[in-house]
Amino acid sequence: MKARIMGPNYTPGKKEDLFEKAIQRTILMMGRYVEAIEDVPSGNICGLVGVDQFLVKTGTISTFKDAHNMKVMKFSVSPLVRVAVI
């Protein structure tokens, strides 16, 4: 199945940061096991094989030609561990 992969810098109507590639497989990840699946009900999380080379962090994947990209999420990361040297 061909999908439109829209990166975070995609602007509707332009070709910049837009890729049309085939999804190789749809997978369900269960712990350390991976199972290939044919379809995914809405609201579930799945893995797509073959899109990792086009997306780094965020993006929108759609099969519709006129789809718009979703708003980019802002990540604010705070430290998990603090160490004080005395």
Q: Rounded distance, CA 4 to CA 15, Å?
A: 11
User: Is 26 a member of any domain?
Assistant: yes
pLDDT at res. 61: 92
Residue 13's pLDDT band (boundaries 50, 70, 90)?
A: confident
Segments forming the whole domain that contains residue 10: 2-62
Residue 21's pLDDT band (boundaries 50, 70, 90)?
A: very high
Q: Is 9 helix (H, G, I), strand (E, B) or coil?
A: coil
Domain count, the chain: 1
Q: Tokens representing 82? A: 């603090």
CATH of the domain at 49: 2.40.30.10
User: Is 31 a member of any domain?
Assistant: yes
Instruction: Name the residue with tokens 């497989």.
Output: 25
Q: Rounded distance, CA 59 to CA 71, Å?
A: 9
Mean pLDDT score across all residues of the chain: 87
**Ranges assigned E (strand) in 1-86:** 2-6, 18-22, 25-30, 33-37, 47-49, 60-62
What's the pLDDT tens digit per position in 58-78?
A: 889 998 888 888 887 777 777
Q: Rounded distance, CA 55 to CA 60, Å?
A: 9
pLDDT at res. 47: 92
Neighbours of 78 (CB within 10 A): 4
What's the pLDDT tens digit per position in 37-62?
A: 998 888 889 999 988 888 888 889 99
User: Is 69 a member of any domain?
Assistant: no
